Structure 1
Amino acid sequence: MTARRRPVPLAEEQPRGGASRWIARSLILTLVALVGLGAWFGGRSLLQGALGPRCQATAGGSSVDFDPEQMSNAATITALALRRGLPARAATIALATAIQESKLRNIRYGDRDSVGLFQQRPSQGWGTVEQILDPEYSTDKFYDALVKVDGWESGTITVVAQEVQRSAYPEAYADHEQEGRILASALAGHSPGGLGCRLNDAEREADVAMLGRLLDTEYGLEAKAGDGTLTVTGTSDQIASSIASWSVAKAVDTGITGVTVGDRRWTRSRDSSSWSWQTADDPAPAQQVVLHLT
Structure 2
Amino acid sequence: MPRTVSAAPRRPGRGRRLRIVAALGVLAAVAGYLTVQYVSGGRGSDQCTVRSADGTYRLTPEQAANAATISAVGTRRGMPERAVTIALATALQESALRNIGHGDRDSLGLFQQRPSQGWGTAEQIMDPVYAAGKFYQHLAEVPGYSRLPLTVAAQRVQRSGFPQAYAKHEPDAALLAAALTGRTPAALDCEPPRTTGGTGDAAKVRAALVDAFGKGVLPSGAAGKGPSAGGAGADALTVPVRADRRAERDGVPQRGWELAHWAVAQSEALGIDEVAYGGRVWAAGEGWRTDREAARLRASDTGEVRLRLVR
TM bin (shorter chain)? 0.7 to 0.9
Deviations 1:181-201 (A, max 9, x none): 000000100000010102222
Give the counterpart of 1:133 among 109, 126, 132: 126
Q: Aligned AA for 1:232? A: V
Unaligned runs of 5+ in 2: 1-41, 219-223, 229-234, 244-252, 295-299
Structure 1 stretches lacking a partner, 5+ long: 1-48
Which letter maps to 2:291? Answer: A
Among 94, 109, 117, the alignment partner of 1:116 is: 109
1:212-271 deviation per Cα after TM superposition (whole angstroms, max 9, x unaligned): 1111121231222424310001224111110001100000110000000021000012xx
What is the distance in 2 between the residues matched to 1:180 and 1:268? Answer: 24
Q: Secondary structure at the match of 2:266?
A: helix
Contact 1:95–1:180 at 8 Å: present in 2 too? yes
The 1:53/1:175 distance shift into structure 2, 3 A limit, reads closer
Partners of 2:281 and 2:54 in 1: CA distance: 21
For 1:159-238, what aligned pairs fall within 5 Å after superposition?
159-201=152-194, 203-220=197-214, 221-222=217-218, 223-227=224-228, 228-236=235-243, 237-238=253-254
Residue aligning to 2:290: 279
Report how far residue 281 of structure 1 moved: 5.1
| CA shift for structure 1 position 293 | 1.2
Relative to 1, partners in 2 of residues 1:66 and 1:288: Cα closer, same or farther, differing over 3 Å? same
Instruction: Please provide the CA RMSD for this pair.
Output: 1.7
Question: Is contact 1:52–1:199 with CA below 8 Å preserved after alignment?
Answer: no
1:97 aligns with 2:104: no
Asked whether the equivalents of residues 46 and 58 of structure 2 are also in contact (C-alpha less than 8 Å), the reply is: no
Q: Which amino acid aligns with 1:156?
A: P
- Asked if 1:85 corresponds to 2:92, the answer is no
Which SS does the other structure have where 1:168 is aligned?
Answer: coil
User: What CA distance in whole angstroms lies between the structure 1 residues aligned with 2:165 and 2:84?
Assistant: 17
Q: Which has the higher contact order (CA 8 A, sep 6+)?
A: 1
Rounded to whole Å, the distance in 2 between the matches of 1:52 and 1:175 is 22
* Map of 2:39 onto structure 1: none
Letter in 2 for 1:238: Q
Which protein has the larger Cα radius of gyration, Structure 1 or Structure 2? 1
Structure 1 residue ranges (4+ consecutive) displaced by more than 6 angstroms after TM superposition: none
Give the conservation status (yes or no) of the 8 Å contact 2:186–2:257: yes
2:275 aligns with one of 252, 259, 262: 259
State the percentage of identical aligned residues. Answer: 44
Cα offset for 1:61?
3.1
User: CA offset at residue 50 of structure 1?
Assistant: 9.1
CA distance in 2, matches of 1:217, 1:253: 14
- Describe how 1:4-153 pairs up with structure 2 within 5 A: 54-153=47-146
Q: Count matched residues.
A: 241
Task: Tell me the distance in 2 between the aligned counterparts of 1:287 and 1:51.
Answer: 38
